Structure 1
Amino acid sequence: MNERRPEFGIPAVARTLAWLRFSAVIGQTATVIFVSEGLGVALDTPDLYTGIALLGLFALAVRWRLAQPWPVSAGELMLHVAIDTVVLGWLLYLTGGATNPFAALLLLPITLVATALSPRHVIVVALMSLGTYLVLLRWNQPLPPLGSGLHLLGMAMSFLISACLLGWFISRLALVLRDNQTLAQRIRERALRDEGFLAIATQAAGAAHELNTPLSTMRTLVTELRREHAEGTLAEDLALLDRQIERCRDSLRELVAAGKAQLAQTGERMSVADFVNVCGDRLQLLRPEILYNVELPDDAAEWIVEVPAGLHHAVLNLMNNAADASLANESAAVDVAVAREGANLVLRVRDYGRGIPRAVRLGMPFESSKSTGFGIGLALADATAERLGGELVIRAADGGGTETRLSVPLASVRLTLP
């Protein structure tokens, strides 16, 4: 499961302000009680509690607002900041104005807005905070003498709150920037990979057009040879050759059909059991020496899916890779299992090879651990999973070998259950 990462933007800043607003209501109430009751300082508590109560009601209203589906605009966020600044200014006016150590909290809205809005909005918020501070310098209700010790304590508390909040905001922003850089790098790698796939697809289309004629000629010659040699070892070899030629012709037809399906954005409706069995039959045709074992849910024949273009080839590539790995370790077994896990349809392909020889870099084409491999099968499967909103994971299997896990969301295959 992917770790949830922090985000910045207008909605994120609005949620952060909502959380800070509730914290401010609790902290301001506790401070007023401590100063007026604990220290015996005469304060205008009715007006202070009125301001805190209004802030609390506004916090509840914003909480309800953020639960609604419509997005938060920049103007609405500015309104939230303006109301917070006015209420804070009112509370500071009743408690010494600019001489109150907590007047430094007027800087925090500027920091928050700077992470999500344009410089123009930041300037407006800065002028709003500056104007509030200048007003508090001229008009305020002075506090009774508190002594230097209590004033220094207030300054220390204000510094601590500001330092903690600023450190939190900046660390989250730095983390978001690092994540964005990682995402940009991943996007560049995917773009390079897709360019490689496009070049291969272009060459494959040309090869498909050119191969159709020689395959037809070979099919005709093999048919004639089979008539002349109807028995014996040569007849068996010719039959195998005929099947392989027909398989090549089927591949060319599938290539054209997949292209048409991709352009039409349609998939083939079939059951999960039929889909897996079709892939297994193709594997048996390509690799008749493989002992193919499949594990399906009891009602898999009633799970109807719309198979997207390319998914057949992705699964067949995984099965073929598993066959190569098993055969390289003097085993002929390949296991396939299908299950539904939450909102995903999961297909597992397990081989009985020597295990993962090194870290597998998914999505990086043209790298193969096989001397006869082109290195694009696994990359194509990963690209298909990514296009469908799923993922491809390769890990060591219990008891040896490797398990490849292909997971796709149920929504992308439009699964229909009985």
Structure 2
Amino acid sequence: MTDLSGELLSANRRSNWIRLRTFITLRWIAILGQITALLIAQFGFGLVLEYGLCYLAVGISVIGNLIAIFVFPENKLLTESENRYMLLFDVLQLGFLLFLTGGLHNPFSFLVVAPVTIAASVLSIRSAMMLASLAVVIVTALLEFHLPLRTENLSVLEISNVFLFGHWTAIIIAIFFSSFYSRQVVSEMSSMGEALAATQMALAREQKLTDLGGVVAAAAHELGTPLATIKLASAELLEELDDRPELREDAALIREQADRCRDILRSMGRAGKDDLHLRKAPLSAVIEEAAEPHMDRGKTLVFDHFEITESPEILRRPEIIHGLRNLIQNAVDFASDTVWVETSWDEASISVRILDDGSGFPPHLIGRIGDPFMRHRKPEKERKKRPGYEGMGLGLFIAKTLLERSGAEISFANGSKNAELRSTQNTSGGAIVEVIWPRSKIDANHNLSLIGTGENPLHRTAP
């Protein structure tokens, strides 16, 4: 999962998501705006400019767009280098137009920020920084090197040096701020999208297991009768073949294999019914089911059930089981020796608390626990301890998302600094995760309509 997520979230992969058609459309909009501005300047305000060179610059963009439309397929996805060259062309073309139309005295000079912002969103850091640096160089050069804006009477239109310097400063700040802001937002959205996709995959997997368990249980039930018939027939054959030992051995083998099939189906049926097929179960059974894959991993799991009222039966929803399983896995991974799983309930709520005797959560990351793909590089000692984990927080994000989807509220803390949450056994100050549901959300007795039991039909009996 980590390798897949890292690949999907890389900047190079993001750049490959952009269609050529998107750039063509944006460039047509820019071309239309440039032609409109030139026509207004020429016929509306009568400004004296090098209109031949200006229209030549716009015409090159038009020719580039037409070539892209007729040469490449409509659904072509651009590579990293192709995206870089497209945006590089836009920066240079806009810089040349600004050189012909007054440089930073032109109010449209602020548009140089646009291609740099797009580059920060879709390109690698190296390519984005290259384009941003180029834009800074162009804007700085335009302070001194540009053709002036002249009116019909050849008077020069320019702003004062103070405003010119302020304009230059604003553009430089906008280039870096908008680039950083855009990159952060896109990265967050990409991370969240990939993490949610991983969550859906985990939930779909759990649901498939649930469906498979129902099939297994049904198959075990349906095959029980023919196997019993085979066993009965083989037993009768054994009695009738006492005088034919070679055939009696075959009948004994049939009976032995029928017994073996019965045992296998019995275990499969029990697993299907107990582990996957039931739609509700006692709270303690669901907790132990979630913890079962981690009971033989060298750590001691202690289950404490604080019985205030009668133990509730809860819905065996895949997101609850998978979410709790991820939390218990995380506790087992970091525990020194023991993990405690405490459950309690009252008339209003159901609570599960998972504690371990490890080193606890890093204090500076507690507020971010549950965010996907936390960029926290672990020390070498910790990476050796958990070689299969990269510390990106995806497992906890999946657990948090699935449990919150079921109506739970989740809190993360360390035992030593949260005495009100600390278990009496958790004296070492390890990590604490507390999950609290409103009882109406998961109590099977409050959700009878979700269980879908229905009425048993009456069977007609023969007279």
Taking structure 1 as the reference length, what is the TM-score of the superposition? 0.42
For CA contacts below 8 A with separation 6 or more, give which structure has more relative contact order.
Answer: 2
Taking structure 2 as the reference length, what is the TM-score of the superposition? 0.38
